[in-house]
Structure 1
Amino acid sequence: MAKGAISLRYVLEGTGHDVVLIHGLGQRLEDWDVQKEALVNNGYRVLTFDLRGHGESEWTAEEVNIRTYAHDLNRLLCQLSIDRAHLVGLSMGGAIAQMFYRDFPEKVQTLVLAATFSYFPENMKQSSLESRLSYIDQGKMEELAELIARRSFTENAPIELIENMKKTIADNHLAAYRGSMIASINADSREYLAEIEVPVLIIVGEGDLTTPLACSQYLHQHIKNSRLVVIPEARHMLTQERPDSFNRELLQFLREMRER
């Protein structure tokens, strides 16, 4: 195993152009099931995987940053002989997708940046760190999971979605979640947004409390070949709360790229 390499759980399904789905902080590959099914049914080969320290993927005690996760993905793509793909990243996954493009632009066909950010302002970064670390360092992952799940969906969301997310977050390994959270909050792609040459779809829930609409607007303003779509009646987990709307926009974007 190459230096820095780590064992990742993944699923590769379907045939056609490659689409890679990169989940958010505290999630796992199953959180993309609805999107994966839609993509496979529309003629794409889809790669889902657990980020290091998430789901069933390995974790090490070494310090990590967003580049760590991007290079994990590159090793996985090399292992699977995937030369070029459409990258779809949600939240932290969107930050990883941006970093992946910076380091491996020749491997990216398009980017879909969902409910994500280029950076967090210092005040937002500090408040998020302080509030979450207090739960993590006291071992109160179930309480943190409750808070995150409630903020990630609208008040009208089905209770099963909220309960499922609570369980997923609460099941995280404490040290892995802590390290991943710090890496995500410290991510900053501002200096290379102007370098992005591929088509980009930016999509966000209208009421997102975790990565507010302003984060997506900033991305749109600084990525020249981008389109911004705002999904109404959705917060951070728009992929689960408004899957039909999300999938429609994603498939339309990919279809347009295929027809170019």
Structure 2
Amino acid sequence: MPYAAIHGDMPLYYEVRGKGIPILFIHPPAMGHVTFKKQAPLAEHCQVITFDMRGHGSSGTTNEKITIKLLADDILALLDHLSIEKAVLFGYSNGGSIAQEFVLSYPERSQGLILCGGFSEVNSFLLYQEFLLGIATAKLKGLTLLGKILSKAHCAEKDFKKELESSVKKTNPAVLYQMYTKGLSYNCTKRLSQIDVPLLLIYGAMDFYVHHYKNLFLQAVKKTDVVYVSKARHQVPTRHYHECNKIIEGYIKSHFKGVNNTMHSNHSTQPFRTESSGQTPDGHPAFRVYMNETLVAEVRGKDPLNQTIIPMRELNDQQEDQFHQFLVSISSRKGNYNA
């Protein structure tokens, strides 16, 4: 198994797949690299890097005091080990705090930032309670229970559920406790304007208690796009991985050149275009989407939570992928798109 020795001799477990733009995935507390099992197919389009943070999964543990900055430093050491000059950081949930800290601390090593269910501070009641529950669980060393809860919430397949549950049980309770406490107090909102890489925010359309955070990012970060995944709650990378992966592919295509992206050539033979169809009864815009001059869908509404995509023609799997990628590609900067 591949390990990087960081900060002396502490082993950090990692996996690397594919070539191209490096995207390093950062998991939430307790969950480990297994969280991003469903992102493996992205290796056809970019270099997928997953790892277990210190005190998690197959990585070594530590008695060193945990801080968000320390965990960002671990990522820097991993990139150095892999001889990667710059990478896109993908932070899921509280893993997004570490991703933000890395981009803010090491802008010269950052190529892009994707936050899935991300936030720059904890300022909502439900999110605050979620952190308190994590702190209490870590205090009680209730990793068996936590493993069952997280695996049930994130996994549909039996094997995936067992794999994630097993990974959670390996977590060092002391490290987990510190990650939750430091995550609860972490606040980088006042520094967001320093982020100068393309930022993509991915939210489940039903993950209501984190939606308001997008406003903080949109106000501060110039290069920001927001994507909502229909019918999804918080567990987008695991429960809605098809949509999540398509969105990431679209982000790569939009911002980075020289990446192996088969959909670039597909669009030349399956061209899409849009045409305004007026407004909805409540005054929001609507538009039609055509493929090879054939109407395939109508999109109604501006607000992503109320936006409706009405199919007008049945598409095969490849065409449906192209259709969703087209919608991602036409989403305006600082705009919204409902996947």
> TM-score by structure 2 length?
0.67
Report the Cα distance in structure 2 between the residues aligned to 1:134 and 1:22, rounded to whole angstroms: 23
Q: CA deviation at 1:34?
A: 1.9
Are residues 5 and 202 of structure 1, via their aligned partners in 2, closer, same or farther at CA, if it must alter by over 3 Å? farther
Residues 2, 53 of structure 1: alpha-carbon distance in 2 compared, 3 angstrom cutoff: closer
Distance, in Å, in 2 between the alignment partners of 1:201 and 1:184 is 21
Contact 2:57 2:168 in 1 (8 A): no
Distance 1:94 1:226 in 2: 15
TM-aligned CA distance change 1:4 to 1:207, over 3 Å: farther
The one-character-per-residue Cα deviations of 1:121-156 (angstroms, maximum 9, x if unpaired) are 285575344433333323333334444556x45xxx
CA contact (8 A) 1:86 1:108 kept: yes
Q: Percent identity?
A: 25
Shift in Å, 1:163: 6.2
Match of 2:25 in 1: 21
Report Cα offsets for 1:210-248 as digits up to 9, x if no partner.
Answer: x62223343233322100111121121111111111111
Q: Any gaps of 5 or more consecutive residues in structure 1?
A: none
Give the corresponding residue for 1:81: 83
Look up the match of 2:231.
Answer: 233
| Residue 165 of structure 1, CA deviation | 4.6
Provide the residue aligned with 1:197 in structure 2. 196
1:40 aligned partner, one-letter code: A
- The amino acid of 1:191's aligned partner reads K
Q: What's 2:242 paired with?
A: 244
Distance 1:162 1:30 in 2: 10
Aligned pair count reads 253
**Unaligned residue ranges in structure 2 (runs of 5+):** 259-339
Within-5 A mapping of 1:107-126: 107-121=109-123
Larger RCO of the pair (alpha carbons < 8 Å, separation 6+): 1
In the other structure, the counterpart of 2:43 is 40
Q: Distance in 1 between matches of 2:207 and 2:164?
A: 16
Q: Which residue of 1 aligns with 2:35?
A: 31
**8 Å contact 2:151–2:161 — kept in the other structure?**
yes
Q: Which has the higher helix share?
A: 1
* Number of the residue aligned with 1:169: 168
Where has structure 1 moved over 6 Å in runs of 4 or more? none
Q: Alpha carbons of 1:221 and 1:148: their partners in 2 closer, same or farther (altered >3 Å)?
A: farther
**What RMSD over aligned residues (CA atoms) do the two structures have, in Å?**
2.6
Distance in 1 between residues matched to 2:90 and 2:7, nearest whole Å: 27
Report the 3-state secondary structure (helix = DSSP H, G, I; strand = E; otherwise coil) of the residue aligned with 2:243.
helix
Larger-gyration structure (1/2): 2
- Structure with the higher fraction of residues in strand conformation: 2
Q: Distance in 2 between matches of 1:206 and 1:88?
A: 19
Asked whether the equivalents of residues 87 and 111 of structure 1 are also in contact (C-alpha less than 8 Å), the reply is yes
Q: Which amino acid aligns with 1:200?
A: L
**Whole-angstrom distance in 2 between the partners of 1:26 and 1:75:** 21
Structure 1 length-normalised TM? 0.86
